[in-house]
Amino acid sequence: MEIEPGDFVAIVGPSGCGKSTLMNIIAGFDNVTEGQVLLDGQPLATATTPPKPGSDRVVVFQNGALFPWKTVLENVMYGPVIQNMMTPSQAEERAMDLLAKCGGLNKVAASYPPQLSSGMQRRVEIVRALINEPKILLLDEPFRAMDTVSKTVMHQHLLEMYRVCRKTIVFITHDLEEAIYLADRVVVMTSRPGTIKSIINVKLPRPRTPNMMLSAEYLALKAQAIAGVHEEAKKAFERGEREHA
Amino acid sequence: MEASWWKSSKFWLMWVGYIIAVAAWYASVKWLPLDSFNRLPDPWSVITEWFSPEPVYGVSIFTPIYYQHIFYSVYRATASFVLAVVLGVPLGILMAWSPKFDAYASALVGLLRPIPPLAWIPLAILMFPGIELAVIYVTFLVAFFATVMNTYVGVKSIDPDYFRAALSLGSKPRDILRHVIIPGALPNIFTGLQIAMGAAWFSLAAGEMIAAQYGLGFMIFESYNLIQFPTIVIGMATLGIAGFMSSAIIRVVGNKLMRWRVQSFGIGG
């Protein structure tokens, strides 16, 4: 599988299919046992080289990992400052600029993360990743714990951020609708062994709006994806999986 | 804190608590039909002795010797505590961070920690030149172990995602130590420091009773030997005040260092 620069790729599959493992491998947290991951033709992770996380592939975590002991601004400035990419004052300027662009988050720059709503925290975390100019943004089920309404709002925020920065995004989720709505390509994974079952190309135009979820094209893609995932889910369920996508 | 703190019911309830305690003390000394209790000093005689310019037994707030005892105790407690923090926090972090070092150290710490401080006194006197260092050593030990254990737990309880996030953002080990481990463990470290300070006073008083020339523990025990009962209670109350004040100082410093907790959750160390 190849991901082009600027692609928005969603990876879906039943729990236990290795979505998160794949992400941990790309991020450099876990070892590869077989095969390899290449970034711009350079091996990132292979079976022989130990994994190495780096700011070219920043992760946004399922449960959120903003440092609660740093303010929003300090969190966002953290990456570029410790990598000596920017001086603190440059980083502050850039951080405030990005925060402002991403839905007026500059207003909460002086707050500590636990004071914000979970949606805001997630957006700040995405900004904290974006400021490093990563080649890939890895989002590990970032909206998993949210209710449907907040989720829809967050989708619009994420699409807006994507429109502004045009980064390569790898989005892990178990929510099919979310995957089709957001991504250019949806990768459906099979469970045990975790391999790619199918790749669905989403040709919905951008910018995407919630109305598109009612379009014939969207529904056709959804039907196609559901068929694939359902088959997988059934297999997984029969294997005794309690939780499935 | 608001300007009208004295209007809050908490403040008045605090005084009600004190008054009940003193009344119970008075009642048990004066009215309890037990000889052993009737020998004890009542609140009034302790207060008059404590604040008398010419104390019957030689120790009051007007006598230099009182401050000499306080000075020695505070000096020993502070020295032990500072030593415990300077050595205990790094050791706790190292143990929690490096599995290898943990394997070396935790068995040893696990074995040494349960030894009561007083059991160290004879060895401490033999090991160190002079009683002063021996008392400081014994006081240091308890504070040290409390600091190490809480620092260790503090580092271990940091969410692993913070480490991953920091790595993902390009942190080097030095950055992880400074920006993840230390701030993340700080709440537990400060809980540990409170415990360490309490433990330090506890073993200091005991150490001073056995081996010292000055200090509040010494003053208490000497007054017991010389049948100067009000002075015993003066020493005890002074220890209580000193312990309370040292805890308060740690709490204030902790809240200064952990503004994020105060602002986010309204809790202080």
Residue B29 lies in a domain: no
DSSP-derived 3-state class of residue A58: strand
Residue B269 above 60 pLDDT? no
Residue A149 corresponds to which tokens in the numbers above?
């309404």
In a domain, B35, yes or no: no
- Per-residue pLDDT at A245: 46
pLDDT reported for residue B89: 95
Query: Given this model, what pLDDT does residue A243 score?
Result: 52
- What does the pLDDT average to over B192-204? 92
| pLDDT tens digit sequence for B59-81 | 899 999 999 999 999 999 999 99
Q: Is residue B138 part of a domain?
A: yes
Average pLDDT value for chain B: 90
Asked if A237 reaches chain B (Cβ–Cβ under 8 Å), the answer is: no
Residue reference for tokens 């998993």: A144
The full set of domains in chain A, from first to last, is: 1-56+137-155+168-245 (3.40.50.300), 68-133 (no CATH)
- Answer with the residue of higher pLDDT: B28 or A236: B28
Mean pLDDT score, B164-171: 91
Q: What is the pLDDT of residue A218?
A: 86
In A190-209, the residues whose Cβ lies within 8 Å of chain B are none
d(CA B42, CA B60): 16
The partner residues of A168 in beta bridges, in order of sequence, read A136
Test mutation, A21, A82, A124, chain B, max B CBs within 10 A: A82
Q: Which chain B residue's Cα is nearest to A113?
A: B264
Q: How many separate domains does chain B show?
A: 1
**Does B83 reside within a domain?**
yes
Question: Can you tell me the distance from the alpha carbon of B215 to that of B66, in angstroms, rounded to the nearest whole number?
Answer: 9
pLDDT above 90: residue B12: no
B72-100: average pLDDT: 94
Mode of pairing for the β-strands spanning A136-140 and A168-172: parallel
**Rounded Cα gap, residues B65 and B62, in angstroms:** 9
Q: Is A83 on the interface with B (CB under 8 A)?
A: yes
Instruction: Encode pLDDT of A178-221 as tens digits.
Output: 888 999 888 888 776 677 777 888 888 888 888 888 888 888 88
CATH number for position B116? 1.10.3720.10
Q: What are the structure tokens assigned to A171, written together? A: 């989005």
Is B1 a domain residue?
A: no
**Can you tell me the mean pLDDT for B162-185?**
93
Ranges under pLDDT 70 in chain A: 16, 192-193, 236, 240-245
Q: Per-residue pLDDT tens for A108-129?
A: 999 999 999 888 898 899 999 9
Cβ separation A55–B170 shorter than 8 A: yes
List, edge to edge, every strand of the sheet that includes A185-189: A57-60, A136-140, A168-172, A8-12, A185-189, A196-201
Structure tokens belonging to residue B62 = 């007007």
Task: Transcribe A87-115 into DSSP letters.
Answer: -HHHHHHHHHHHHHHTTSGGGGTTS-GGG
How many alpha carbons lie under 13 Å from residue B22 in its C-beta half-sphere? 12
- Indicate yes or no: CB of B168 within 8 angstroms of CB of A57: yes
Beta bridge partners of A171: A10, A139
C-alpha B113: how far from chain center: 17
B14 and A CB contact within 8 Å: no
* Cis bond upstream, residue A43 (ω within 30): no
Q: What are phi and psi of A169, to 5 degrees?
A: -125, 130
- pLDDT of B188 higher than 90: yes
B24: pLDDT confidence band, cut at 50, 70 and 90?
very high
Is B11 among the domain residues? no
Three-state DSSP at A133 gives coil
CA B216, B220, B223, B228 torsion: positive or negative? positive
Distant-in-sequence, close-in-space partners of A28: CB < 8 Å, separation ≥ 6: A44, A45, A51, A52, A53, A54, A57, B167, B168
B244 touches chain A (CB under 8 A): no
Number of alpha helices (DSSP H) and beta strands (DSSP E) in chain B: 13, 0
Residue to mutate among A69, A112, A125, with most B CBs inside 10 A, is A69
The per-residue pLDDT for range B205-233, each reduced to its tens digit, is 988 988 778 999 999 999 999 999 999 99
Distance from CA of B171 to the nearest CA of A (A): 7
Is A22 in contact with A152 (CB distance < 8 Å)?
no
B116 Cβ partners below 8 Å, 6+ apart? none
Tell me, yes or no, whether B7 lies in a domain: no
Q: Please name the helix (run of DSSP H) or strand (run of DSSP E) that holds residue B156, with its range, or none.
A: helix B131-156
Which domain covers residue B85, as residue numbers? 47-265
